[in-house]
Amino acid sequence: MIQRGLTDVIVPTAITALAYWGLALPMGYWMGMRTGAGPMGIWYGLAAGLIFAAVALNLGLREGLGRSICHVLRDKWEGGMAGRFVT
């Protein structure tokens, strides 16, 4: 949702495609079929791609916003959501 508001969809799409198709799938195949790790190797490869995507997208989001996502959530909390929970 935040990325869409920044009109930044090309870079996150490229990062996600690279992470899943360029890293997770080949690594899962290699670890699962070539090293003999079996299904656990496939899961390790998929997890590695997911971790890469999470880190790269977070870094891209920080770069796009110019501040960390924690500050965005804090500002949103202080702006409207905090008053709902105060009795």
Instruction: With a cut of 80, say whether residue 46 has pLDDT above it.
Output: yes
Domain boundary assignment for the chain: 2-85
Instruction: With a cut of 80, say whether residue 17 has pLDDT above it.
Output: yes
CA dihedral 85, 61, 29, 46 (to 10 degrees): -10
Q: What is the mean pLDDT of residues 20-48?
A: 93
Band (42; pLDDT cuts 50, 70, 90): very high
Contact (CB, 8 A) for 35 and 41: yes
Distance CA 72, CA 65 (A): 9
Coil/strand/helix, residue 35 = coil
Instruction: With a cut of 70, say whether residue 82 has pLDDT above it.
Output: no
Q: What is the mean pLDDT of residues 27-50?
A: 93
Coil/strand/helix, residue 26 = helix
CA dihedral 40, 46, 49, 50 (to 10 degrees): -110
Contact (CB, 8 A) for 49 and 19: yes
**Which pLDDT score is estimated for 71?**
65
Instruction: With a cut of 70, say whether residue 63 has pLDDT above it.
Output: no
